[in-house]
């Protein structure tokens, strides 16, 4: 199954583009599911059919789903209380009733991740269109599964499971319940669930469709989003330019705005496959308006951004790691090697990346940013590098 992630700056028309893209795919005979995390039914308003906690058919070949974050939050907290019953009783803590629970900030996004996992495991659909939050939140959300898995493995290393047989003995000696068993079981379950979401995000069939209104603010937002996606090695399938004005007489008030939009469109076309969506003079509502936007269905996902390592030992005595970072600024780049990992910071975006196996036997010699590509030089460590015979 292919996955198309829709994001862009707030107010750019992300939900409308997600709905129009999904509808176009369904009309092409592709079994399509469109997902949204909005607490209000913006997706249903655009599609002209109510959506909710259960997937619902809204058009031939098109299913819409808006997961219920509140129900998921209640179920998760209730399950946690059951697993931690001994510890809570020891502390004299009063349990929370499901009826008094309200979802915390971020619950919608977590519900969306879980739905993304469940949808990817389903064989009912050929295409999954995901209406993500605005780009900054979306990028943080897409990074969450990998980061949480890393935190869990650092805090609760799986190899400590070997001491499981000793826990009952330790519990009797200490005279208190030992929470390690349920704690490790919970961590292992979370690791499996997070790994499933991470696999969807990293799948070669997953790509991003950016949405922005052409103009200075939209151009800035696209540059920032493109850098964040490059840090995550997520490919951009296309860019949808929304609310594009028609040509206007030179003496009309629309002329300068239309010219500004054309300039942004010309610049975007140098980098992206651009799909202009005309301004309808109103907020799109219903299948007819979505069809009038004339957006194409999802194209085949482009190849993920490659981070190749080139062997320049014969000439310069180094290996060079090439990391594409379009729009990155030299003063906003930071690199820290930590063991077999590289902590990469580009502007507001950070990612901890495992080093390729060959580079783990090297020391960092330097780095340079050239033409939107970060090139990190590694010199073989004589103590670790295989000797030539």
Residue 251 sits at φ, ψ, to 5 deg, of: -95, 5
State how far the Cα of 204 lies from the Cα of 235, in Å rounded to an integer. 9
Which candidate, 327, 311, 290, 322, places its Cα nearest to that of 362? 311
Would you state the pLDDT for residue 299?
79
Architecture of domain 309-380: Sandwich (2.60)
For residue range 232-278, list pLDDT tens digits in order: 999 999 999 999 998 877 777 788 899 999 999 999 999 999 999 99
State how far the Cα of 335 lies from the Cα of 357, in Å rounded to an integer. 18
Which candidate, 87, 63, 65, 83, places its Cα nearest to that of 75? 83
Would you state the pLDDT for residue 178?
47
Contact (CB, 8 A) for 244 and 273:
no
Task: Give the residue extent of every domain in the chain.
Answer: 2-68+104-292, 309-380
Would you state the pLDDT for residue 251?
74
CB atoms within 10 A of CB 286: 14
Would you state the pLDDT for residue 230?
93
Residue 272 sits at φ, ψ, to 5 deg, of: -120, 160
Instruction: Using DSSP, state whether 236 is helix, strand or coil.
Output: strand
CA distances from 56 to 40, 86, 249, 311 (A): 16, 41, 46, 53
Would you state the pLDDT for residue 176?
47
State how far the Cα of 313 lies from the Cα of 56, in Å rounded to an integer. 58
Taking domain 2-68+104-292, whether its CATH number is 3.40.50.300 is answered by: yes
Q: At what angle do helices 69-83 and 107-121 cross, to 10 degrees?
A: 90
**β-strand partners of 380:** 362
State how far the Cα of 103 lies from the Cα of 92, in Å rounded to an integer. 24
- Element of type H or E holding 265: helix 254-269
How long is the chain? 389
DSSP letter, residue 294: T
Would you state the pLDDT for residue 344?
94
Would you state the pLDDT for residue 170?
46
> Low-confidence residues of the chain, pLDDT below 70?
69-107, 156, 158-184, 186, 301, 304-305, 386-389
For residue range 260-271, list pLDDT tens digits in order: 999 999 999 999
For residue range 23-67, list pLDDT tens digits in order: 999 999 999 999 998 888 899 999 999 998 889 999 999 999 988
């Amino acid at each position: 199954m292919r996955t198309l992630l829709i994001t862009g700056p707030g107010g750019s028309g992300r939900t409308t583009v997600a709905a129009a893209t999904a509808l176009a795919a369904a009309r092409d005979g592709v079994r399509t599911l469109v997902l949204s995390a909005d607490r209000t039914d913006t997706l249903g308003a655009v599609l002209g059919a109510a959506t909710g906690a259960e997937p619902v058919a809204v058009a031939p070949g098109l299913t819409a789903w808006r997961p219920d974050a509140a129900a998921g939050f209640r179920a998760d907290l209730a399950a946690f209380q059951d697993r931690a019953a001994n510890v809570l009783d020891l502390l004299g803590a009063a349990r929370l009733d499901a009826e008094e629970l309200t979802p915390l900030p971020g619950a919608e996004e977590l519900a969306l991740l879980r739905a993304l996992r469940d949808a990817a495991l389903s064989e009912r659909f050929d295409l999954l269109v995901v209406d993500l939050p605005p780009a900054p939140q979306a990028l943080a959300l897409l990074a969450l599964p990998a980061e949480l898995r890393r935190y869990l493995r650092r805090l609760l290393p799986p190899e400590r499971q070997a001491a499981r047989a000793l826990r009952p003995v330790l519990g009797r000696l200490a005279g208190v319940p030992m929470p390690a068993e349920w704690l490790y079981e919970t961590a292992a379950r979370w690791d499996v669930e997070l790994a499933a979401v991470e696999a969807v995000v990293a799948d070669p069939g997953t790509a991003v469709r950016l949405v922005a209104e052409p103009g200075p603010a939209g151009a800035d937002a696209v540059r920032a989003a493109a850098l964040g996606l490059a840090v995550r090695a997520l490919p951009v399938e296309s860019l949808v330019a929304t609310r594009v004005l028609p040509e206007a007489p030179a003496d009309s008030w629309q002329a300068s705005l239309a010219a500004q939009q054309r300039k942004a469109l010309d610049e975007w076309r140098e980098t992206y496959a651009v799909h202009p969506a005309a301004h309808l003079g109103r907020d799109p509502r219903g299948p007819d308006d979505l069809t009038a936007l004339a957006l194409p269905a999802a194209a085949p996902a482009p190849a993920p951004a490659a981070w190749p390592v080139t062997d320049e030992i014969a000439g310069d005595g180094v290996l060079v790691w090439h990391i594409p970072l379009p729009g990155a600024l030299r003063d906003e780049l930071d690199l820290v090697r930590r063991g077999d990992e590289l902590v990469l910071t580009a502007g507001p975006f950070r990612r901890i990346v495992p080093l390729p196996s060959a580079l783990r036997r090297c020391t960092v010699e330097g780095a340079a940013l050239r033409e939107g590509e970060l090139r990190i030089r590694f010199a073989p460590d004589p103590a670790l590098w295989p000797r030539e015979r």
